[in-house]
Amino acid sequence: MNSIEIGTTNAGNLVALPLKMANRHGLVTGSTGTGKTTTMQALAENFSRAGVSVFCADIKGDLSGIAARGDDASPLAARMAAMGRQFAADRFPVAYWDLFGDHGLPIHTSVQEMGAELLARMLKLNDAQEGALAIAFKKCEDEKSWMLTLDDLRWTLHDMLESREEVCRQYGNITAASITTIQRNLLALESQGGAFLFGEPRFDILDFIRNDAAGRGTINLLHADRLIENPKLYATFLLWLLTELFRVLPEVGDLNRPKLVFFFDEAHLLFTDAPKQLIQQIERLVRLVRSKGVGVFFVTQSPADIPDTVLAQLGSRIQHALRAYTQKDQRMVRAAAQAFRENRGVDVKAEITKLAVGEALISVLDEAGIPTKVEKVLIIPPSAQVGPISDMERRAIMDGSTDGSEVSIHAKEMRQRYGAKLAEQVAVHQFMNRMRQQRGLPIVKTASDWKEGDFRQFMPDFSSSYPPAPRRATWRGLFGWSAALASSVFLLWVLV
């Protein structure tokens, strides 16, 4: 499979994205209810068929049906027949994730590994407050007292406040107002569930990239209906995942197919009120992660939601209908129309407001990396179930109790690795030793790590190789010498 089939034109011509161009990124846009989620599911299924792992944020829970077989009698099957294609119901390997651990396996990291910049974005800090937070991270690094949870950060800030003069002399000026603002925002973040992100065991981003026995890529679904209630936490969390992919994956250049395709749904949340430095960081990350074998597809309502510097990095465009009710909407339509390579047979500006559900204007990169002319296309529908599965079905898939396949065995392994909640002392010990190992420091053992005889390394050596100590005089010896001296003195006195 060398291409991802997207849809067909009115003339019956197939529009497909060459698989080797999937790491040149893409954009899926359209108003609410025009079919963006269904298009995202269809793309995810085709990437999975091609052996490419996928990550999607499932905001409404609709994508969970990818794990269940489609219905041959559904309207989508009828639409497939109307397109002159055979509908083949199918299902795909799925891994469910959930930051809160309710509808999927939890994803954890540490405050220290998240970093000051992304955490400041989560906490909505200004420049002065972000500087104070960066000093807290530097202080913990110097003292080797790394922070695992938000409570650790809170205690660090408390210590900085108590010894503020010393901290100012060593690291630079910080104000009590900045520290108290960070502490107040920490409370707000905790109330929105941000504390669930930090803990042990730490999530390994490479667990996103896995194929089943048939060679199909795993579709990783992040259950985000609760997470989306805090837009900053949602957007920063997904940005952290993308950053982890860039940090961990090796440089591979251009592959015949990407290792992972990352769908960033509701992408406008990432850029809303984002400072210039963050936008530059995102643009640089999107540009460089391509060489790690990762393709990123931003999903949002309008191309205007994406900054121009990032938009320029997105090679493929799928535009569903836009509704132009206001002057602002009309400007968005004009901007969307100008983003496509011109096709004299398609009036983009007129068509973009008249597209039916499931129709889209599409331009992709060809084999040479050149954008194709825009085409009006009917999207090929998904072959798996469209819509959510039941909680019972989800739980069975997560527990690996559906069958004895390799997918189920892997699900059990993931459950054992991430599903168990560690005791606080064990979690802290694991985290501290991981930090020490990353910095080339020896690990610290706990009582459970000691083996019989380990105490000997701390005992002094009493071997015979040492010279014998001088003999100390005993009380008997002292008494004998005293008696002899007294006798001599008495004899001398008698003779005299």
- Which residue has better confidence, 118 or 333? 118
Decide which of 386, 414, 442 is a domain's last residue.
414
In the prediction, which pLDDT does 63 show?
Answer: 94
Q: What is the mean pLDDT of residues 91-99?
A: 93
In the prediction, which pLDDT does 248 show?
Answer: 94
In the prediction, which pLDDT does 399 show?
Answer: 81
Residues 392 and 374 in one domain: yes
Residues 216 and 181 in one domain: no
Domain count, the chain: 2
Q: What is the mean pLDDT of residues 108-122?
A: 93
Q: What is the mean pLDDT of residues 406-419?
A: 77
Instruction: Dump the DSSP string for 29-97.
Output: E--TTSSHHHHHHHHHHHHHHTT-EEEEEESSSGGGGGGSB--TTSHHHHHHHHTT---------EEEE
Give CA–CA dist 180/129, Å, rounded: 10
Which residues face 121 on adjacent strands? Answer: none
Of 434, 459, 454, 455, the C-alpha closest to 444 is 434
Give percent above pLDDT 90 in the chain.
59
In the prediction, which pLDDT does 84 show?
Answer: 87
In the prediction, which pLDDT does 158 show?
Answer: 94
Give CA–CA dist 56/299, Å, rounded: 10
Residues 352 and 368 in one domain: yes
Determine, yes or no, domain membership for 490: no
In the prediction, which pLDDT does 331 show?
Answer: 80
Residues 233 and 354 in one domain: yes
Distance of CA 306 to the CA centre of its chain: 21
Phi, psi of 421 (to 5 degrees): -95, 125
Question: Is the pLDDT at 496 greater than 80, yes or no?
Answer: no
Question: Is the pLDDT at 43 greater than 70, yes or no?
Answer: yes
Q: What is the mean pLDDT of the chain?
A: 87
User: For 337-379, how does the pLDDT look when each residue is reduced to its tens digit (9 = 90+)?
Assistant: 888 888 888 998 889 989 999 999 999 999 999 999 999 999 9
User: For 251-279, how does the pLDDT look when each residue is reduced to its tens digit (9 = 90+)?
Assistant: 998 889 999 999 999 999 989 888 888 88
User: For 414-460, how does the pLDDT look when each residue is reduced to its tens digit (9 = 90+)?
Assistant: 888 888 788 888 999 999 999 999 999 998 876 555 566 665 665 66
In the prediction, which pLDDT does 398 show?
Answer: 85
Question: Is the pLDDT at 295 greater than 80, yes or no?
Answer: yes
Residues 174 and 28 in one domain: no
Which residues, 6+ apart, have CB-to-CB distance to 187 below 8 Å? Answer: none
Residues 72 and 187 in one domain: no
pTM of the model: 0.85
Residues 35 and 167 in one domain: no
* Domain with 184 in it: 111-197
Residues 286 and 394 in one domain: yes
No. of H helices and E strands in the chain? 18, 11
